[in-house]
Structures are given as structure tokens and as C-alpha cells.
Amino acid sequence: MPTRVMLEKYADVILRVCLRFERGQRLIIMPYLTMEEAQPEAFMLIQIITEQAYKAGARYVHIQWHDQQIEGLRLLHADTLEDWPAWESEGILSWYDEGAARIAIAGQNPDGLSRVSPERFGQAQRYSAQFTTPLLERITSDALKWTLANVPVRGWARRVYPDLSEAEALEKLWDAIFEICRVTAADPLAAWEDHVAELGRRNSYMTRKQYAALHYTAPGTDLTIGLPKGHLWLGGFARLSDGRPYIGNIPIEEIFTVPHREQVNGVVSFSLPLAAEGNIVEGATLRFEAGRVVEVTARTGRETLERWLAVDDNARYLGELALVPNSSSVARMRTLFYDGLYDENAASHLAIGTAYKNCLSGGAQMTDAAFLAAGGNISAQHLDFMVGSGQMNIDGILEDGSAEPVMRAGEWAFA
């Protein structure tokens, strides 16, 4: 199990490198932890972050614990799903608006809510959304500094490494997280500075190029994705409105932008299984015509995939494309983590559903209608699926139709 020294390095990466916590700030730590399955080391990490934050001048560190199993019991058994501690959501919001920073610590059993029916889940979400939506809006609009990092819990470790003993699986998952998050680097802070600087350079290059489209080829894939005018490549540092930087989640190995919702044509094959909501989709292909998914195949989970595409009208359109080299710190593990954050940083991916307005110049100020007209997508869905591999080539297509290499055999083709 991890030593205190390793946990201190991980805390350092989270608090200093990613959150760039500032003296005098309040800090809200939100452990999304399956408590019964957590190890003492998970709680120790939270303590270490708390201690480091106070030593760095935190005004107050508030821990808002979330236990998915406890929430699951409500979803399974409560007479009513229409009650909520509104004062808690409102209180957290008031602290966000007074300048608090937020760290989420995720350690959930991927099967934790598998007994809950989608109907009950949806009913509860619809009621609580009136209280939680303002919190999410602050996060997605960079109104506060926030960072998300993971810790192993037993159920997650068992799922990732089913052939190991529980203790071995936990140990291996800690090791994987530390390796992926550069905690094992000789100088983790320097390694992170180099890494985000590289992501920044690649964002600048790609944004400057303003490719009209990207052309993806790989076994089972021949897809052209148009890019709207004024698209911005992001990834690495996020920024508050006054320019102060932070890193919103670790790992972060991707750069991403917004596709033009009506300019996607061709076929794309999933390169990794897609695990979400306790379901798994494997060996899938999507065929697009004028941006819309018109054909779906899958070795397993085709119906699940169709259901995800049917959430609303725009769930059949792309909302994100992200480039991740095949040598990324996550991809090197060759492991399916059953965790969106880890898995999406393992390979170049696309997402059906809603797009990020801040990936379009001036997009953050656009109405939904204006964003749609500019080529963005708006949907209640946002689901990432992995398409990249060591066999993928990607060309950037300029306005004049000429092509330049962006990725070759899964790796960057420019400096």
C-alpha cells in the first residue's frame, strides 16, 4: 500500500500543480468515496491535502463527503425522491461565489448503483437538479478552481484487475494511478510543468492551423470531421476569467475541441470497450451522414448504445473530439479502468452529445441557438468513446483541401 511519502507527493500534485491553491482561499474537498470499500490510505490522502492546504494558508477546509452506497439506498428504498438538503447545495454555492476552490476525490465502485432502476435514478436527478445545476454551472464555466483526482477502493480495484487478489489489485491500482499522474517522477512538479507546457504548445499549433476538418483512418475507421470556424483546442490548463490557471482533472493527456455537428461523414470503430452505468459496449461502429449517426453495429451492447443515442435528438451528433497519443501515461498501461476520466485519457476519443461552448471563440457568451448555428451541439447526453490506437493516422485538412499529418500510428506527427 502507498507510503505516506507517496501520498504527500500525490497531494502536492493535486493541491499545488493542479489546483494552484492560493493563500486565504477556502477549500471544499468532495470525496466521492464508497466508504465501506475505502482503505485508510484514502482517508489519509484527504488528511494530507487538508494539512497542506492549512499550511498553505487555507481559511477553512470543508469536507463534503458523498457516499454512493448511501445515495443508492435512497434511490432504492425512499418513499419519496422529492426531498433534498437544499441548504447544503446553497451553502456550497455561496462559498464558490466567495472564492472557494474545490477538490473532488473519486473512489467509487463502478457497480455501486447497478441495482437502481434508470427510472428512479432519473426521477431523483430531475428533482435535485434544481439545487445542483448552479453548482455544475460554476464548474463547467471556470467560475472557480477545481480539480478531480482518483483513489482506489476495493470494488473498483477488483473490477480493473479481476485476476488478482483484492490486496494485490488495490496495490496495483495505487501504483497505476501514481505512474499515470506522474507522482513517481523524480520531480513530479517539474514533470507536470513540462507536460502541461507540451499540451499548451500542441493546443496553440492546432488552433493556429484552423484545419477545416480532420480525417481519421484506422482498421474499420474512415471518418472526416469538419471543424467550425474559430474552434479552439483546449486541454491542460483551464483558466478563470481573470486568467489564473488551474488543471481541472488528473490525468489529463488529451487536447480537445468542438466538431461541426453537421460535417461528420464516414465510419468509426471503437478501439476500446465502453463501460458506463454498469453496462459495456464492445466492438462497435458508428456510421455518420451529415453529422448524424445513421447506422450502429456492435459485437456486444448494441441496444445499450442505441439507448444512449436516443436520449434526445442531438445525442446522435458529435460534441467533442479529443486527441491522445498512444504513448500517453494512461495508454501505456494497456488497461481498461472502467472510469471515464482514466479511460478517456487512454486514447483519442470522440463524444456524442453536448459540446463545450468554450471550445469556440466567443462561444461562452453564445445562446444555445447561436452555438448550434455556429456548428456546436447541445444535448443532455455527453458520452466519450475511444477510437485511437497505434494504428490510427489523422490528417488535418486545410481550407484548400490539402492534407497535413497530425498523428501517425497513434503518435503526434508534429513537433
Interaction site with a second copy (CB under 8 A) = 23-24, 26, 35-37, 40, 43-44, 46-47, 50-51, 54-55, 57-63, 65, 67, 69-70, 73-74, 76-80, 83-85, 87-88, 90-91, 94-95
Cβ 123 to a second copy, closest distance in Å? 14
- Shorter beta-carbon distance to a second copy: residue 61 or 275: 61
What strands, in cross-sheet order, belong to the sheet with 403-408? 292-297, 285-289, 264-269, 221-226, 213-218, 393-397, 403-408, 411-412
Which residue, 98 or 306, is less far from a second copy as judged by CB? 98
Distance of CA 308 to the CA centre of its chain: 18
DSSP per residue, 307-341 = HHHTSSGGGGBEEEEEE--TTSTTGGG----S-HH
Q: Which is nearer to a second copy, 121 or 414 (CB)?
A: 121
Least distance from a second copy to the Cβ atom of residue 174, Å: 16
Using the minimum distance from each CB to a second copy, give the nearer residue, 95 or 270: 95
In DSSP terms, 280 is beta-bridged to 275
Smallest gap from Cβ 24 to a second copy, in A, equals 8
- Beta-carbon neighbour count of residue 270 at 10 Å? 23
Phi/psi for 218 (5° steps) reads -170, 170
The amino acid occupying position 50 is T
Burial group, residue 380, by CB count within 10 angstroms (0-12, 13-18, 19+): exposed
Q: Which is nearer to a second copy, 32 or 211 (CB)?
A: 32
Find the shortest distance in angstroms from Cβ 111 to a second copy.
16
C-alpha 406/C-alpha 409 separation (Å) is 10
Question: What distance, in Å, lies between the first and last C-alpha atoms of the chain?
Answer: 39
Choice between 5 and 415, CB closer to a second copy: 5
Shortest distance, CB of residue 300 to a second copy, whole angstroms? 32
Rg of the chain in Å (alpha carbons): 21
Beta bridge partners, 289, equal 292
Minimum distance from CB of 338 to a second copy (Å)? 21
Q: How far is the CB of 46 from a second copy (least distance, A)?
A: 7
Q: Which residue's CB is nearer to a second copy, number 20 or number 26?
A: 26
